[in-house]
């Protein structure tokens, strides 16, 4: 009798079918569970949202009069510098019927074109704010409707949190249902901040145009709709850039009004930007500190994305980078050493190398009299301070070393500098000459830098290329618009004092560029909001060995060249470069020690802002980089560095030791040595022959260093107001006894 055999194991095929069937069953189960979970969460979310909405009550409006003033402190975090708010509850409400329709439409065009169609919120804007917050940013990102802005400004605080944003959204929806669109728009127009201490459209109309709101033109309405985006960025009274911003934004609003059918093409064509504004002098921004407080305000808006209402009413406590002792030292140096002529303006800035902190800055004597900052907004020809960037480019190319020798004869003629349209034969032939016609023999780049020899550096830039000099300047930190012309080596580009302080700080930091900044810390009244501590933004842009050679060359002007006054009086190692622009229209000394970089720029302007020569002045004679700028710089740096460690510069690396420069261009023989005054040929406007580079302005004159003669110390003077119309002081003061310099 045979025994029954046990059943064999299931085949692989049947096993796979069983497993797959079980997997599908489990998958359907999990899918069902997942769907039910999502549905449950959705129901809970809707329920929670409904409860939150029901419990959200419209609060009493904030009292503008009780708003907290924002305060700026010096770097110690204790000493008050100034206050950011310029308002005292300045608001007058008017009915919507009194506000012109084009004013209403301008606001809609700029802020919320779907205002009459939406339910008070912008889903895309909300999503963007949440996404930014999830990534770690502040819950303040835009896309806010007019209703949301009204809710935030009138009912809520300026907290930068998701909780506040959520309340804003719920309140916006609720108010959109409780009030008509016209009521919301009326309330918005009467509560929004327009700058100049003005809350509401009626007060703003008076603050900017001295008229009732009902009398506003279309163009004026477009401007007021623009300025609410950030008064410090759009008020023309605060500077040329603000005026340009306002024109651009106003144009956008007017075009949007046309696109939405709110304005005809002919009305748009007639709506030209207003040419007359009420003269505005901020109540809270006065004296030299006014420029610093305004810089802080701009940085809060541009870098830290705070709006004007946050700043004006938010009760911020802002710690700046400005060190009060250094600021006092700077103002004292300017007061005691500046020229006495009324129309001489000047700017000065001091930066920590490798960090970018602005530790002292002079933008003028009184912000209330002249709000344009001489250190950050006024632009002057760089003069020979630009030669340093050509030196950087030359050493970077590998074709030159500090030992490279070039011809310092004067004058010399270069086809690359020729201008066929020049008024003089010399200009048409491309003449470049040294200051006073001083002619030198062959000189290496160290000595040529020390003596600021125009003809050598003109030849050098022809070989290097103006484009590479421009790049070196930009890499170092010059943010002004530059041109790639070979003539830029002689300082034809217009730059700011802060530009040059930042660029020279990069050299002092051995090639580490640090973005300049003035806000060190932002504290909020709400203790639940973490303070913002600013970290320097740095980048390595130049090799250390390259910088050590550049620094070495820059010690030559100080040790025995065009800035020898500095070397004779500072009492520690320093490096720098003088600069005197074409026809004495600007004069500079920019320099540094390892731990501090400072730039000084002087200029002279007429009643309409035109450039004037600082030549043969009654009290000051010829103002060159080696005279007043060098004296001011030295007086400040000596005081600011008192008690600090004397640090040494790195030893030169002597890169490109084997570089053997051979000129690839030819220059015509130089003429006889002369002692004539600097050339005043105007910058050419014509194009050069096809075989030459773009035409260049007439080269910057450079003074020949001479041994200073003993001259009495100038008597202290009262500084001017920074606008070329300052208070005179020290009448009859002799010109500084310093080597005139480049």
Q: Which two tokens stand for residue 728?
A: 């005179």
Residue 153 clears pLDDT 80, i.e. is over it: no
pLDDT band at 193 (very low <50, low <70, confident <90, very high): confident
User: How many other C-beta atoms are found inside a 10 Å radius of the C-beta of residue 643?
Assistant: 5
How far is it, in rounded angstroms, from Cα 456 to Cα 450? 12
**Inter-residue contact 741 to 630 (CB < 8 Å):** yes
> Which pLDDT score, from 0 to 100, does residue 674 have?
32
Residue 687 clears pLDDT 80, i.e. is over it: no
**Inter-residue contact 576 to 504 (CB < 8 Å):** yes
Residue 737 clears pLDDT 80, i.e. is over it: no
**Inter-residue contact 176 to 147 (CB < 8 Å):** yes
563 against 178, higher pLDDT:
563
Q: Are strands 71-73 and 317-320 parallel, antiparallel or unpaired?
A: parallel
Residue 682 clears pLDDT 50, i.e. is over it: no
Give every CB contact of residue 607 below 8 A, 6+ residues apart in sequence. none
Range 550-573 average pLDDT: 96
Range 461-472 average pLDDT: 97
How far is it, in rounded angstroms, from Cα 740 to Cα 125? 60
> Which pLDDT score, from 0 to 100, does residue 161 have?
54
Range 564-580 average pLDDT: 96
Compute the mean pLDDT over every residue in the chain, rounded to the nearest whole number: 80
Instruction: Look up tokens 């025995």; give the residue.
Output: 560
How far is it, in rounded angstroms, from Cα 655 to Cα 251? 53
Write the DSSP string, 167-207.
HHHHHHHHHHHHS-HHHHHHHHHHHSB-STT-BSHHHHHHH
Task: Give the per-residue SS3 of 66-99.
Answer: HCECCEEECCCCCCEEEECCCCCCCECCCCHHHC
How far is it, in rounded angstroms, from Cα 711 to Cα 417? 39
Range 592-597 average pLDDT: 98
Least confident of 466-475, 541-550, 694-703: 694-703
Least confident of 9-13, 284-288, 690-694: 690-694
Buried (b) or exposed (e) across 388-422, using 16+ Cβ within 10 A?
bbbbbbbbbeeebbbebebbbbbbbbbbbbbbeeb
Q: What CA–CA distances, in Å, run from 226 to 120, 184, 218, 230, 262? A: 21, 19, 12, 8, 17
> Which pLDDT score, from 0 to 100, does residue 174 have?
83
> Which pLDDT score, from 0 to 100, does residue 608 have?
82
**Inter-residue contact 139 to 156 (CB < 8 Å):** no
Q: Tell me the residue ranges of DSSP E strands in 192-329.
A: 317-320
How far is it, in rounded angstroms, from Cα 576 to Cα 574? 7
Range 166-178 average pLDDT: 80
Least confident of 127-136, 459-468, 678-687: 678-687
Range 376-393 average pLDDT: 96
**Annotated catalytic sites, by residue?**
111, 384
470 against 43, higher pLDDT:
470
How far is it, in rounded angstroms, from Cα 642 to Cα 646? 10
Q: What SS3 state is found at 330? A: helix
How far is it, in rounded angstroms, from Cα 243 to Cα 471? 29
DSSP state of 734: P
> Which pLDDT score, from 0 to 100, does residue 83 have?
84
Across 310-319, 411-420, 670-679, 694-703, which has the greatest mean pLDDT?
A: 411-420
Least confident of 400-414, 481-495, 518-532: 518-532
């Amino acid at each position: 009798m045979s025994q029954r055999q046990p059943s064999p194991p299931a085949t692989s095929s049947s096993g796979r079918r069983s497993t797959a069937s079980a997997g599908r069953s489990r998958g359907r189960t999990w899918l069902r569970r997942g769907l039910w979970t999502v549905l449950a969460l959705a129901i809970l979310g809707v329920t929670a949202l409904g409860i939150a909405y029901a419990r959200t009550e419209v609060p009493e409006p904030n009292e503008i009069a009780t708003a907290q003033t924002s305060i700026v402190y010096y770097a110690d975090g204790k000493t008050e510098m100034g206050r950011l708010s310029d308002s005292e509850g300045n608001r007058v409400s008017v009915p919507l019927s009194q506000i012109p329709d084009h004013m209403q439409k301008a606001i809609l065009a700029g802020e919320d074109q779907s205002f009459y169609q939406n339910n008070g919120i912008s889903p895309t804007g909300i999503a963007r704010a949440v996404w930014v917050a999830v990534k770690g940013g502040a819950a303040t990102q835009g896309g806010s409707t007019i209703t949301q802005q009204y809710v935030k400004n009138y009912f809520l605080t300026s907290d930068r949190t998701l909780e506040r944003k959520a309340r804003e959204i719920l309140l916006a929806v609720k108010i959109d249902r409780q009030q008509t669109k016209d009521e919301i728009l009326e309330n918005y127009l009467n509560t929004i901040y327009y700058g100049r201490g003005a809350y509401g459209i009626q007060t703003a109309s008076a603050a900017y145009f001295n008229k009732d709101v009902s009398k506003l033109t279309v163009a004026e309405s477009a401007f007021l709709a623009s300025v609410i985006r950030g008064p410090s960025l759009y008020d023309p009274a605060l500077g040329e850039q603000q005026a340009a911003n306002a024109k651009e934004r106003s144009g956008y609003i007017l075009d949007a009004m046309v696109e939405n059918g709110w304005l005809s093409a002919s009305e748009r064509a007639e709506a030209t930007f207003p040419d007359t504004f009420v003269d505005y002098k901020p109540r809270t921004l006065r004296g030299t500190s006014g420029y610093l407080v305004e810089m802080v305000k701009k940085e809060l808006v541009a870098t830290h994305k705070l709006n004007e209402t946050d700043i004006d009413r938010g009760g911020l406590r802002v710690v700046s980078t400005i060190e009060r002792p250094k600021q006092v030292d700077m103002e004292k140096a300017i007061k005691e050493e500046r020229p006495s002529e009324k129309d001489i303006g000047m700017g000065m800035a001091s930066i920590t190398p490798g960090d970018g902190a602005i530790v002292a800055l002079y933008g003028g004597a009184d912000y209330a009299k002249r709000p344009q900052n001489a250190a950050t907004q006024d632009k002057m020809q760089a003069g020979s301070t630009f030669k340093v960037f050509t030196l950087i480019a030359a050493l970077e190319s590998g074709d030159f070393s500090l030992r490279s020798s070039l011809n310092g004869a004067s004058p010399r003629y270069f086809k690359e500098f020729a201008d066929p349209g020049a008024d003089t034969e010399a200009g048409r032939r491309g003449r470049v000459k040294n200051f006073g016609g001083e002619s030198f023999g062959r000189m290496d780049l160290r000595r040529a830098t020390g003596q600021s020899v125009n003809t050598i550096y003109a030849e050098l830039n022809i070989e290097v290329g103006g484009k590479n000099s421009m790049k070196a300047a930009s890499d170092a930190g010059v943010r002004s618009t530059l041109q790639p012309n070979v003539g830029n080596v002689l300082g034809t580009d217009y730059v700011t004092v802060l530009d040059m302080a930042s660029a020279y700080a990069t050299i002092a930091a051995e090639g580490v560029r640090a973005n300049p900044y003035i806000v060190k810390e932002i504290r909020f009244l709400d203790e639940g909001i973490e303070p913002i501590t600013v970290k320097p933004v740095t980048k390595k842009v130049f090799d250390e060995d390259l910088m050590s050679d550049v620094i070495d060359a820059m010690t030559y002007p100080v040790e025995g060249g065009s800035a020898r006054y500095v070397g004779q009086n500072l009492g520690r190692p320093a490096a720098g470069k003088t600069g005197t622009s074409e026809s004495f229209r600007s004069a500079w000394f920019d320099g540094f020690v390892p731990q501090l970089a400072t730039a000084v720029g002087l200029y002279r302007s007429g009643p309409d802002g035109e450039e004037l020569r600082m030549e043969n002045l009654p009290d000051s004679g010829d103002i060159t980089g080696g005279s007043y700028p060098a004296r001011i710089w030295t007086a400040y740096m000596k005081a600011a560095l008192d008690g600090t460690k004397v640090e040494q510069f790195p030893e030169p690396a002597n890169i490109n030791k084997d570089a053997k420069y051979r000129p690839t261009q030819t220059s015509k023989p130089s003429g006889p040595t002369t002692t004539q005054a600097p050339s005043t040929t105007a910058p050419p406007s014509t194009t050069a022959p096809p075989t030459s580079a773009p035409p260049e302005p007439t080269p910057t004159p450079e003074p020949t260093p001479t041994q200073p003669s003993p001259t009495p110390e100038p008597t202290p003077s009262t500084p001017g107001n920074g606008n070329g119309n300052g208070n005179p002081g020290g009448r009859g003061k002799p010109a500084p006894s310093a080597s005139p310099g480049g």
